[in-house]
């Protein structure tokens, strides 16, 4: 019995290893809902034929995809033949909960992809292509017999690209659409206008592309550090560009053939300095290069925007038109006679309600043309327009508020979805705007908050990755920032949470990086990843741990790092100040006193600070460390001057501390704001 038991155990191990080897061949990203391995293999070769009952435009999309793939299949008019690939439309049933659902059956005789819609067949083909591409150079492909049932978790699965700060060609856009489709993403959010440049031809307003699309500087950074002016295309220093309406039509048609909807963004009321530079009458001052917000009291503003949106809607069939709505300063509105008159006539209490009036008026226009308004979460300010959808970027709060109010929302929080953040140790990476968003953090995101009830959760349409391009001047750099993080986002959006495993995904992502490189993309070399800041990996043990901290100045409400205990909780910060480990103070000093509870020997007091000047995060001007026995009379131990230059534009960390011998109960730590103002961040005051 014992011998037979051992033999049975060995047999089980062998079978398990074989099963794992076959499972390893099902490297599909995003992870399907279910994968059932079966006996045998299918050999796909030059004699394999293709059948489909799909008709019309969608049939052309699917067949065009296959023509461009490694599968060189000749068409047959009969279904179910041996050595065939069959694309079958079926009736809607519970097994196909979405029009994007599909089933992929591989048997030794044939391959069958079934779906209720062309989109489902398209995604089934993408999964088949991923299996084939694991050995794409082979003349024949042996695929393990399997039954894959798959459906998306979320209906909106997006990528946003900013082409205002740095222009990218239509060829580049189409190249990214290819890979979006390959990983089952279905929304391309095209950020076409912003203060750095207008990128879409509007025939009624030619100055938008004759002047506002061009800058006499090589990069956005050069432009910001100089006059922030525009020029004509014939200026020898001109840099920029725009898409003609024919270019737009070409990209939209290409996206449609890949079952991707293109959502245009036309920024308003803020981020519009490029418009107001060439049409200054639409600003509060009436002068170029003064305002960046449209004048909300000027009816000409709405005439202009309606004209622009009319041409935009003729080019984009998308249900949604994105109007931006973020970061409007509204300063000009506070003193503008026209804006004040508008507020009086509409009984608006403040400029936030004036912004809401602005958004509602644009929404009414869009709704009258059969479209819906989509905007960043600032459109909540002053009251949300009746039928608007919120794109939540400043955390999840905007999306949660929208869903609780009965509005649809798309999650794209800066903490998990901003691909302009560093993805590895900042000193090893190209310059970025700041932050730290490694692959694992993207993958860990759950876009449907547990705080919502079942009905509210249904209003979370999906999730989106955002690539802003302030510090991304080349297409190669853009791809470096997009991939492989976009694959993680794709799995977040598509795969059921219970099917996700970062260990499994990471293994697949390493292979996909090789695939991307082979196909002319420029992904981040994942195999060389270094990871999170070492000091953040373990809790710091020290004398002040868990002790009472008294604040003279309040920390910034968006960067509390956990509140009053944050500076003595033993949790050190990572590479980014948005990781909820760094406590921030805006335009004020840090002045805190720690009560150690009893007098004790102290040999060191130290805190760590960071500087990244893009988002105005600075080192303190200086730090002073004091101690006391009674909490009233303090003795200064040391004053440390900052030696990091204010023009140092690299992410920099510096310790400000004292070492020596003293005895005290209270420790006071004061970090003075420098002349630049902005933020000071520290993570822990370590007392030993």
* CATH number, residue 262: 3.20.20.80
Whichever domain contains 20, its CATH number is 3.30.379.10
Decide if 269 contacts 196 (C-beta within 8 A).
no
Same domain, 407 and 474: yes
Q: Is residue 125 part of a domain?
A: yes
Distance CA 621, CA 275 (A): 39
Q: Is residue 523 part of a domain?
A: no
> Over the range 41-79, which residues count as b (16 or more CB within 10 Å of their CB) and which as e?
bbebeeebbbbbebeeebbebbeebbeebebebeeeeee
Mean pLDDT across 442-454: 97
Same domain, 141 and 279: no
Predicted pLDDT at 22 = 45
At 479, list the tokens: 């791809």
Predicted pLDDT at 246 = 98
Length of the chain: 688
Among residues 443, 476, 501, which one ends one of the domains? 501
Interval 356-395: pLDDT, tens: 999 999 999 999 999 999 999 999 988 888 889 999 999 9
Distance CA 301, CA 328 (A): 15
Going by the DSSP 8-state scheme, the letter that residue 553 receives in this structure is: S
Helices (H), 628-684: none
Q: Is residue 320 part of a domain?
A: yes
Element housing 552 (H / E) = none
Same domain, 362 and 463: yes
Distance CA 565, CA 549 (A): 7
The average confidence (pLDDT) of the chain is 94
Same domain, 466 and 361: yes
Among residues 117, 150, 183, which one ends one of the domains? 150
Q: Is residue 541 part of a domain?
A: yes
Predicted pLDDT at 139 = 77
Distance CA 416, CA 236 (A): 40
Is the pLDDT score of 79 beyond 90? no
Predicted pLDDT at 656 = 98
Same domain, 164 and 139: no
Is the pLDDT score of 23 beyond 80? no
Among residues 91, 121, 150, which one ends one of the domains? 150
Decide if 179 contacts 255 (C-beta within 8 A).
no
Look-up: residue for tokens 């969608």? 58
Q: Is residue 510 part of a domain?
A: no
Q: Is residue 517 part of a domain?
A: no
Report the domain count for the chain.
3
Whichever domain contains 675, its CATH number is 2.60.120.260
Distance CA 147, CA 22 (A): 13
At 155, list the tokens: 């209906």
Q: Is residue 527 part of a domain?
A: no
Interval 390-406: pLDDT, tens: 999 999 999 999 999 99
Mean pLDDT across 7-33: 61
Decide if 204 contacts 188 (C-beta within 8 A).
no
Element housing 311 (H / E) = helix 299-315
Same domain, 143 and 274: no
Distance CA 62, CA 112 (A): 14
Q: Is residue 521 part of a domain?
A: no
Element housing 586 (H / E) = strand 583-586
Interval 262-313: pLDDT, tens: 999 999 999 999 999 999 999 999 999 999 999 999 999 999 999 999 999 9
Same domain, 551 and 453: no
Interval 580-589: pLDDT, tens: 999 999 999 9
Same domain, 199 and 128: no
576: domain range? 534-687
Q: 3-class DSSP state for residue 356? A: helix
Same domain, 94 and 185: no
Is the pLDDT score of 653 beyond 50? yes
Same domain, 394 and 450: yes
Same domain, 570 and 648: yes
Whether the link from the prior residue into 484 is cis, omega within 30° of 0, is yes
Predicted pLDDT at 71 = 82
Same domain, 133 and 186: no
Interval 144-167: pLDDT, tens: 999 999 999 999 999 999 999 999
Task: Show which residues are catalytic.
Answer: 194, 271, 327
């Amino acid at each position: 019995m014992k011998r037979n038991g051992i033999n049975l155990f060995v047999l089980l191990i062998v079978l398990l290893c074989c099963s794992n080897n076959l499972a390893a061949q099902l490297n599909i990203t995003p992870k399907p809902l279910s994968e059932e391995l079966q006996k045998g293999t299918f050999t796909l070769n030059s004699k394999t034929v293709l059948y489909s009952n799909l008709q019309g435009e969608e049939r052309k999309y699917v067949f065009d995809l296959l023509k461009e793939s490694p599968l060189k299949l000749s068409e047959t008019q009969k279904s179910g033949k041996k050595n065939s690939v069959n694309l079958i439309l079926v009736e809607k049933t519970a097994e196909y909960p979405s029009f994007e659902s599909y089933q992929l059956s591989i048997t030794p005789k044939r391959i069958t992809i079934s779906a209720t819609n062309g989109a489902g067949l398209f995604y089934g083909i993408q999964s088949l292509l991923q299996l084939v591409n694991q050995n794409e150079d082979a003349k024949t492909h042996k695929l393990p017999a399997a039954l894959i049932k798959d459906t998306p978790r979320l209906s909106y699965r997006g990528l946003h690209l900013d082409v205002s700060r740095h222009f990218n060609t239509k060829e580049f856009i189409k190249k990214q659409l290819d890979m979006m489709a390959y990983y089952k993403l279905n929304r391309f959010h095209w950020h076409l206008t912003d203060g750095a440049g207008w990128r879409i031809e509007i025939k009624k307003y030619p100055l938008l592309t004759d002047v506002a699309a061009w800058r006499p500087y090589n990069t956005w950074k050069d432009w910001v550090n100089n006059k922030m002016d525009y020029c004509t295309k014939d200026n020898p220093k001109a840099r920029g560009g725009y898409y003609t309406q024919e270019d737009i039509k070409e990209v939209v048609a290409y996206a449609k053939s890949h079952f991707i909807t293109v959502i245009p963004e036309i920024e308003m009321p803020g981020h519009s300095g490029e418009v107001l530079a060439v049409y200054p009458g639409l600003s509060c001052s009436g002068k170029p290069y003064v305002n960046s917000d449209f004048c909300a009291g000027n009816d000409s503003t709405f005439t202009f925007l309606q004209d622009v949106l009319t041409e935009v809607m003729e080019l984009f069939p998308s249900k949604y038109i994105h109007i931006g709505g973020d970061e409007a300063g509204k300063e000009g509105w506070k003193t503008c006679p026209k804006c004040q008159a508008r507020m009086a006539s509409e009984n608006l209490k403040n400029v936030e309600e004036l912004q809401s009036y602005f958004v509602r008026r644009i929404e009414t226009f869009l709704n009258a043309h059969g479209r819906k308004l989509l905007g960043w979460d600032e459109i909540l300010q002053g009251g949300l327009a009746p039928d608007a959808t919120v794109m939540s970027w400043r955390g999840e709060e905007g999306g949660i508020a929208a869903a609780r109010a009965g509005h649809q929302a798309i999650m794209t929080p800066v903490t998990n979805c901003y691909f302009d953040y560093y993805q590895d140790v900042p000193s090893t990476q190209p310059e970025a705007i700041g932050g730290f968003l490694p692959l694992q953090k993207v993958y860990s995101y759950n876009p449907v908050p547990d705080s919502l009830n079942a009905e509210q959760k249904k209003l979370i349409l999906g999730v989106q990755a955002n690539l802003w391009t302030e510090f991304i001047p080349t297409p190669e750099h853009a791809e470096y920032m997009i991939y492989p993080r976009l694959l993680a986002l794709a799995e977040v959006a598509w795969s059921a949470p219970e099917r996700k495993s970062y260990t499994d995904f990471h293994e697949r992502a390493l292979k996909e990086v090789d695939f991307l490189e082979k196909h002319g993309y420029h992904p981040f070399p994942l195999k060389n990843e270094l990871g999170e800041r070492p000091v953040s990996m373990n809790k710091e043990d020290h004398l002040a741990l868990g002790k009472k901290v008294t604040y003279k100045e309040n920390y910034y409400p968006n960067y509390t790092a956990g509140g009053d205990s944050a500076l003595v909780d033993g949790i050190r910060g990572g590479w980014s100040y948005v990781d909820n480990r760094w406590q921030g103070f805006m335009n004020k000093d840090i002045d805190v006193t720690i009560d150690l509870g009893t007098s004790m020997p102290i040999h060191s007091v130290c805190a760590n600070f960071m500087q990244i000047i893009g988002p105005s995060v600075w080192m303190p001007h200086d730090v002073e460390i004091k101690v006391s026995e009674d909490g009233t009379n303090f003795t200064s131990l040391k004053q440390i001057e900052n030696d990091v230059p204010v023009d140092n534009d690299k992410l920099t960390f510096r310790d400000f501390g004292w070492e020596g011998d003293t005895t005290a109960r209270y420790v006071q730590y004061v970090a003075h704001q420098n002349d630049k103002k902005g933020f000071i961040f520290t993570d822990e005051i370590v007392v030993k």
